[in-house]
Amino acid sequence: MDEVLLLTHRIPYPPDKGDKIRSWHLLRFLNARFRVHLACFVDDPRDLEYRDFLRSQCASAAFVEIKPFWAKAKSVPALLTSDPQSFFFYRHQKMQNIVANLRSKNLAAEFAFSSTMTPYIERQIGDRNRIVDFCDADSEKWLQYAERARFPLSWLYRREGKTLAAAENQVANWADHSFAVSKDEADIFNNRSAVNRKVDWYTNGVDLDYFDLSQFPADEEKRCEIAFVGAMDYQANIEGILGFVDAVWPKIRAENSGARFNIIGSNPTKEITGLNHHDGITVTGRVPDIRPWLASASVMIAPLRVARGIQNKVLEAMAAGKAIVASPEAMTGINANANAAKIAHSPQEMANAINFLLDDDTKKNEMGAAARSFVEAHFSWDSAFNRLENALNELGVYSSSSA
């Protein structure tokens, strides 16, 4: 069996946040076809316990622990260059040594997951294919942040957006094949005049068996009227939840005085933990299994103001058969019909939709069932990877017909 290299900017297990879900399923896809050598960063010490599991899944697996605070400090010198700070954040001599050793092997291809890992494979070796999964056009996220921030953060975010866009363009041009998470994200790259090699796409999926909640009865201790799931140290999630608590939650409580709101996700910041036990809000922090919390929630929300690609939190809520009320940004790339999800364009519209669902169990259950049916029809991982497999066939890296 041929060997390949997979580089990820975050350990791909456990699949408990958006990028890790995608990279974990990418690893599984590659493992079914190749002997995979994995090299990844670990930015949460709690994830180190999964090293042996990943070693059991791969031909080899190497892990480089980074501390986000010091990595951010190390990225400051990027301001004196034309490079994005994101690239400096993930520049690490130990990783460089690991990758150099792995690249000396007779590999069929090299895969870089996220633009930040591409510098490690930029130098081409012979005619070996280099395949990049951008996931999102991250540069656009920073430009969106810049529009919402005040100086000097607005300047820093805008600089990062511009320098990262230039770097993304260069990667798209030297990669033998590259992907984004949706057609909309791919179009961002392909509409840039500086990109002369087309960026392809394959969507995310959702584990439908895993999110079948029939085995998880509602738990009274976890029960709530509204829930949000997401990493709570991620800026877009923080902004979305703070905005919801400020502009929407009081309107919910005005009509449902006993309503409870669970904010479920790892590493909550001080701003988020400050909401705990205030006006019916519970901040859980990291939980070992999200499913009992989903089973105990009436309505899920995704009130994001900034969102790139496809939101796994939305797909998982829908797969769990939950009614969901979301911002247009959070629903980008999913294209759910009105029966399967409610898109709210303003705080008042979001409050009205949530209150309506809380008052109408029949409508809420119908929307949850429609949501489950929608993801069953459109977001399986098997169908998602068809585009990647076709690309590998065209490159001559792997042939499903001869496997």
**259-286: per-residue pLDDT in tens?**
999 999 999 999 999 999 999 999 999 9
Could you tell me if 46 and 185 lie in one domain? Answer: yes
pLDDT band, residue 401 (cuts 50/70/90):
low
What CATH number is attached to the domain comprising 104?
A: 3.40.50.11720
Q: What is the Cα gyration radius of the chain?
A: 21
Instruction: Tell which residue, 35, 32, 34, 36, has the closest CA to residue 8.
Output: 36
Per-residue pLDDT tens digits for 61-89: 999 999 999 999 999 999 999 999 999 99
pLDDT band, residue 400 (cuts 50/70/90):
low
Burial class of residue 267, CB neighbours in 10 A (0-12, 13-18, 19+): middle
Could you tell me if 200 and 229 lie in one domain? Answer: no
In a domain, 237, yes or no: yes
> What's the one-letter identity of residue 129?
N
What CATH number is attached to the domain comprising 330?
A: 3.40.50.2000
In a domain, 40, yes or no: yes
In a domain, 401, yes or no: no
Could you tell me if 304 and 164 lie in one domain? Answer: no
In a domain, 240, yes or no: yes
371 pLDDT above the threshold of 60: yes
Among 16-20, 94-98, 201-205, where is mean pLDDT lowest?
16-20
d(Cα 3, Cα 28) in Å, to the nearest integer? Answer: 14
Domain count across the chain: 2
Could you tell me if 103 and 150 lie in one domain? Answer: yes
338 pLDDT above the threshold of 80: yes
156 pLDDT above the threshold of 60: yes
Residue bearing tokens 């700070």: 85
Could you tell me if 196 and 71 lie in one domain? Answer: yes
Could you tell me if 222 and 353 lie in one domain? Answer: yes
Structure confidence at residue 110 (pLDDT): 98
Expressed in angstroms, the distance from the first to the final Cα of the chain is: 9
Could you tell me if 189 and 230 lie in one domain? Answer: no
Segment 354-368 mean pLDDT: 97
Could you tell me if 184 and 252 lie in one domain? Answer: no
Q: Where are the alpha helices (DSSP H) in 149-182?
A: 153-174
In a domain, 196, yes or no: yes
Structure confidence at residue 249 (pLDDT): 98
Could you tell me if 188 and 238 lie in one domain? Answer: no
Segment 1-23 mean pLDDT: 94
Could you tell me if 230 and 142 lie in one domain? Answer: no
In a domain, 289, yes or no: yes
In a domain, 400, yes or no: no
Could you tell me if 155 and 247 lie in one domain? Answer: no
In the beta sheet, which residues pair with residue 263?
A: 228, 283
Give the DSSP H/E element, type plus range, for residue 317. helix 312-319
On average, the pLDDT of the chain sits at 95
Segment 123-130 mean pLDDT: 96
Instruction: Tell which residue, 338, 329, 333, has the closest CA to residue 384.
Output: 333
Q: Encoding tokens for residue 102?
A: 């792995």
Which residues contact residue 84 at a Cβ distance below 8 angstroms, ignoring those fewer than 6 apart? 78, 160, 163, 164, 167
Q: Encoding tokens for residue 304?
A: 């994001």
pLDDT band, residue 215 (cuts 50/70/90):
confident
Among 271-285, 347-361, 376-390, where is mean pLDDT lowest?
376-390
214 pLDDT above the threshold of 90: no
Using CA atoms, how far residue 351 sits from 280, 303, 327, 339, in Å, is: 16, 11, 12, 18
pLDDT band, residue 160 (cuts 50/70/90):
very high
pLDDT band, residue 328 (cuts 50/70/90):
very high
Segment 326-333 mean pLDDT: 93
Give the range of the structural domain holding residue 361, as residue numbers without chain letter: 213-378
Structure confidence at residue 206 (pLDDT): 93
In a domain, 370, yes or no: yes
Could you tell me if 321 and 374 lie in one domain? Answer: yes
pLDDT band, residue 126 (cuts 50/70/90):
very high
Phi, psi of 112 (to 5 degrees): -115, 125
